Amino acid sequence: MTEIHGTCPDRLGAVKDAFAANFTEAPEGLNEQAARFSVCRDGEIVVDLRAGWADAANAVPFAADTLVPVFSTGKAVMATLIATCVERGLLDYDRPVSTYWREFGQAGKHDVTVGQLMSHQAGLPGFADPVEPAIWFDRRAVLDRLCAQAPMWPPGSASGYHPITIGYLAGELFRRVDGRSMGTALRQDFPGLDLWIGLPEREHGRVAQMRKPSSAPDLGTIDAVKRAAFLDKGSAPGGRGSAEWRMAEIPSANLHARADDLARFLAVIATGRIGGREVLSSGTLEALRRERITGPDRVVPFDMSWGAGLMRNRTLGVFGPNPEAVGHSGWGGSCGWADPATGVSGAYVMTRQSPHLIGDPRAVRLIDALYAAL
């Protein structure tokens, strides 16, 4: 039996049962190596469960301070940081990105709005021409190429998930209006949270080892857009080693987090507040969460309803029963979500990755058990 640590009130015992089942009878045989599931209600932790081993040799317990790379789940943090700029009047979702960043407006992108960029409508899911994977460690080179590149479809006509590029684009937009990088702002504006966009080398010893998926995700019919986003040699960072990847600031792809602090952060999206402090007003929350576009996505094989950087539950049904819940999934199965109807926010992190792009069955089992017990 895997020993489970943490807290879960008796009235939510079904959540603990589901968590235990993920170690012994997980859907599709995806039995956990290590995992953590944390839930806040109105900003207060009500469930925080963890179990397993932080290393592949089963020698290092998965501890309360173990960090996990959550990959694209970090896009929910990225979207919230952009929303803080909207809150402060530094950005407007309805104004063109080129208003704040002139160079972005090249090659037919002059009228792409901030809201369209954040909802994956800009047509820049990857590089149109071949690049080496090491380019991602040169922020300026990435941005220069993306600014000069023409959209791969008419902006605003469809969404097409931007796996890596959106982090560089949103990160630069944030930097232009705020003056700081997103990683710096996350540390300074949300002190005390163990969340990192760009992980200092001194913290690397706390990071759990990941077990890669046994198969590739199903992307549907492959075309040039999907190849640029996911399959081309240079579609993701590589060639520099894990230490340099962890230290880079890639808001779309390399957030390192504890599940409990990620759940606390996502309370901002559910309630507008964190630790009793208002971060986002009701107007900014509505603008962040509301539907920007819906329909078949050009990159991921789902009908997507996108907010300003958030996956909306209306077409997915993976973040509980409320269609107005929002969140984001990450490579291998992690996820985070926020539900304004109930004030619930939560996060699931794990070390054994699956090929599911959205809606890993282990996370869905936990979320469904939570809502059934609430």
Average pLDDT over residues 283-308: 98
Average pLDDT over residues 243-262: 98
Instruction: Report the chain's mean pLDDT, rounded to a whole number.
Output: 97
Q: Looking at residue 31, what is its pLDDT?
A: 81
Q: Which residues are catalytic?
A: 72
Alpha carbon separation from 106 to 64, 112, 335, 362 (Å, rounded): 47, 11, 34, 43
Q: Looking at residue 26, what is its pLDDT?
A: 74
Distance in angstroms (rounded) separating the CA atoms of residues 251 and 192 = 19
Q: Is the pLDDT of residue 1 over 70?
A: no
Q: Is the pLDDT of residue 222 over 90?
A: yes
Dihedrals φ, ψ of 24, to 5°?
Answer: -125, -30
Q: Could you report the per-residue pLDDT of 167-217, keeping only the tens digit for each?
A: 999 999 999 999 999 999 999 999 999 999 999 999 999 999 999 998 999
Residue 28: which pLDDT band, with cuts at 50, 70 and 90? confident
